[in-house]
Each structure stands twice: as structure tokens, then as C-alpha cells.
Amino acid sequence: THFGFETVAEELKASRVRTVFSSVAASYDTMNDLMSLGIHRLWKDHFVRSLNPGIRPTSYSQSAAGQTILDIAGGTGDIALRLLDHATTINRDNGTSVIISDINPEMLAEGRKRFATSPYYASTATSPNRRVSFLEANAEDLSAIESNSIDLYTVAFGIRNFTHKEVALKEAFRVLKPGGVFACLEFTPRLSNPIMNGIYKRWSFGAIPLIGQVVAADRESYQYLVESIERFPSQPEFASMIEEAGFIVPGKERGDGGELQGGWEDLSLGIAAIHKGVKP
């Protein structure tokens, strides 16, 4: 662009995102509960259930190798823990492993702490834990991960912070195996019902920065988080972006996507949505 203004703006955005998450890391889980009135837990549970991670042992193989899952923008490990719990308790799969990846070392440090105190997945000196690993990386450059190596790519409440979402989608496509699934849980910029949208926007623009100020003494970071939701593409726009990266979007064309009619699933009146794509 002229005079490189766009580049400067993008660099500012990336460094802003870093500062925001470094400053919210320690209070992140508590703040999520307060801001969403605990509902983010239900969305995350539903997201993970809908993915049914892990492989059921068949009568031929009692010890399936398990899936390799990449949880991008995995932060404090909220999604990864649910993925492992589901694989282990529902599918009786002890082989599935999750790589928790995040650009922010402070958020990853919170994730490490959580797994260190989680007795089932905790690693010990004699039994190093292979089921969870941590990778500091930008979602737009996953060069540490081999092409066609991942069964399931998850990203929850992360992608709206990425500077170049298309580049991150291309990287997701590259690292997934053919048949692998891209799954995203994210806020939507607006609710389809205008009255409910008005009420919701009053809550998010009014209460969330205020809660940030009172509980975490950080109004600005929470103001940024609310504004980043406004700027995220609408559900049909995002479904098209996933398709443009090369994925098949279940439900988008043929209407056979089950819960994903139209190419996505709205949660809680469309405050959040689940998008999926399958690598052909």
C-alpha cells in the first residue's frame, strides 16, 4: 500500500493483541465466567461434543493410535482439556493427543500450570506426558508443524484476533490430513434479532469493559476484546472464507450439514457460532 501505512497498522494490531493477552492471562478464566455469566463453558462443552474427538477401539483394534489434535490459540487449555476428557471417557481412547499452540507465552504458561495440576494428564519424570504438548507459534505461520499431519484443528475465540485470517486458514488447510476437520468457535458480530442485538450490545459495550476495570483493573484490554467482536465477519462471510481456503463446508451448499445448516451453527441466539470445514 501507499507509504506502507497498512503494514504499520497491522504491526500495531499484532502488538496490541500481544499486550492484551499478556495482561489478561492470569485473570482470563475468571473473567470469561463473569463476562459470559458462565455460558462460555456450555458453548465449549457443546463444541467439543459436536467434534466427538478420539477414536473408538474397534473389535479389530483395541488400542487405536488416537488422533493428533492441534488446538490453536489454545491459551489456558480450556478446549484441550475438554478434548482429552471426551476422547478418554467417552471414546475410551488413551492415545489421542493435543498440541496446545498460542502466540502468547503468558497464556501458554497458564495452560502449563493447569495441566501440571491435572492428575490424569500430568507428566512425571518417569512418565513424560505425551498427551499434551505446548507450542508457541503464530497461527499464520505453523512451520513447526508438518503438512498433512493433523486430524483435527480447533480454534476457540482466537481467530478474530489474527491479523491475516486467510493466511491462518491456509495454514490450517496445509497441516490437516485429507479428511481432517477444521473447527472454529467464535463470537459473531451481531445477532439476527435486532431487539436482542440491541440488548446484547448494551451489555457487551457497557458491562464488559466495566467488569474488566473492576475485576482485572484493565478496562482497555476488555474494550479491545469487545471491539474485536464487532470487526469479525458475519457467519455467511466466514463460511465463504473457509471455503476459499480449500475446505468443504458441511451444510453450505447441499443442506445436508445436520446442525450446520447454511454452513454454521448458531449458539445462544447467535451470540457465538460454530464453523467447520473438511479438507478434501
Task: Return the residue of 68, 91, 138, 228 that touches ligand SAM, per CB under 6 A.
Answer: 138
277 binds ligand SAM (CB under 6 A): no
156 binds ligand SAM (CB under 6 A): yes
102 binds ligand SAM (CB under 6 A): yes
Q: Other CB atoms closer than 10 Å to residue 278's CB: what's the count?
A: 16
Q: Specify whether the CB–CB gap between 98 and 134 falls below 8 A.
A: no
Q: Cα(7)–Cα(154) distance, rounded to whole angstroms? A: 28
CA-to-CA separations, 52 to 34, 56, 69, 82, 86, in angstroms, rounded = 28, 10, 12, 11, 7
Placement of cell 501505512 in the chain: 5
Find the helix packing angle between 78-89 and 39-51, rounded to 10°. Answer: 50
Query: Nearer Cβ to ligand SAM, position 64 or 159?
Result: 159
73 binds ligand SAM (CB under 6 A): yes
Q: Cα(86)–Cα(81) distance, rounded to whole angstroms? A: 9
Task: Return the residue of 53, 66, 69, 78 that touches ligand SAM, per CB under 6 A.
Answer: 78
Q: Specify whether the CB–CB gap between 175 and 146 falls below 8 A.
A: yes
103 binds ligand SAM (CB under 6 A): yes
Q: Specify whether the CB–CB gap between 196 and 266 falls below 8 A.
A: no
For the bound state, the minimum distance from the C-beta of residue 87 to ligand SAM, rounded and expressed in Å, comes to: 18
Task: Return the residue of 66, 158, 212, 263 that touches ligand SAM, per CB under 6 A.
Answer: 158
263 binds ligand SAM (CB under 6 A): no
47 binds ligand SAM (CB under 6 A): no
Query: Nearer Cβ to ligand SAM, position 15 or 192?
Result: 15
204 binds ligand SAM (CB under 6 A): no
What CA dihedral angle connects 120, 124, 130 and 132, to 10 degrees? 60
134 binds ligand SAM (CB under 6 A): no
162 binds ligand SAM (CB under 6 A): yes
Task: Return the residue of 75, 189, 250, 251 that touches ligand SAM, per CB under 6 A.
Answer: 75
For the bound state, the minimum distance from the C-beta of residue 108 to ligand SAM, rounded and expressed in Å, comes to: 8
The single-letter code of the amino acid at 278 is V
Is 273 one of the annotated binding-site residues?
no
186 binds ligand SAM (CB under 6 A): no
Q: Cα(81)–Cα(118) distance, rounded to whole angstroms? A: 9
- Residue ranges for the known binding site for S-adenosyl-L-methionine are 76, 102, 138-139
